[in-house]
Amino acid sequence: MLNKIYSLGLKLAAVATLLLCFVLVRFYENILFYDPFLAYFKSDFNQMPLPEFNVFRLILNLLFRYGLNMFISLGLIYVIFKDWMMIQFSFFLYLIAFAVLLLSLFLVIYLYGSENNFLLFNIRRFLIQPIFVLLFIPAFYFQKRNS
């Protein structure tokens, strides 16, 4: 009984630590990442042209931020479910999603420019925020419960 309580306490502490990591990535985003769209989307972006940006630097920083969020998310999924198959499957989905989202982001930027800010905003949000973990955890829980 005491062992079970100790194990649950460790699990909750690990989950809290990983959630704090998400908060820290968000809190230090201006320092850690090159992203000219941060200031752009905080302003009245519907009336403004897209900001100037370095494509290579933006891709590297999006990869870095997406990677940080991905590894924190994978850690969270592992702590909750303790299943390596889920981790491998999630990792594969994250890689595919990154490729599709990055391609979509640059297609929207170069094809539409500032004409379709809403689509640009949402694609970028999926790249820089840990939204996929909010989808994966309930899906894996439901799948594990029903199998």
Question: How does pLDDT run across 17-34, given as a tens digit for each residue?
Answer: 999 999 999 999 999 999
User: Which 3 state secondary structure label does DSSP give 114?
Assistant: helix
pLDDT at 2 over 80: no
Give the global pTM.
0.90
Alpha-carbon gap, residue 54 to 38, rounded angstroms: 14
Q: For position 45, what pLDDT does the model report? A: 72
Alpha-carbon gap, residue 43 to 64, rounded angstroms: 24
- Where exactly are the structural domains of the chain? 2-146
pLDDT average, residue stretch 78-89:
95
CA 51-53-55 angle, 5° bins: 140
C-alpha distances (whole Å) from 33 to each of 69, 130, 142 are 13, 15, 35
Question: How does pLDDT run across 32-73, given as a tens digit for each residue?
Answer: 999 888 888 777 777 778 888 989 999 999 999 999 999 999
Tokens 């920083």 locate to 61
DSSP, residue by residue, 39-57: HHHHS-GGGSPPPP--HHH
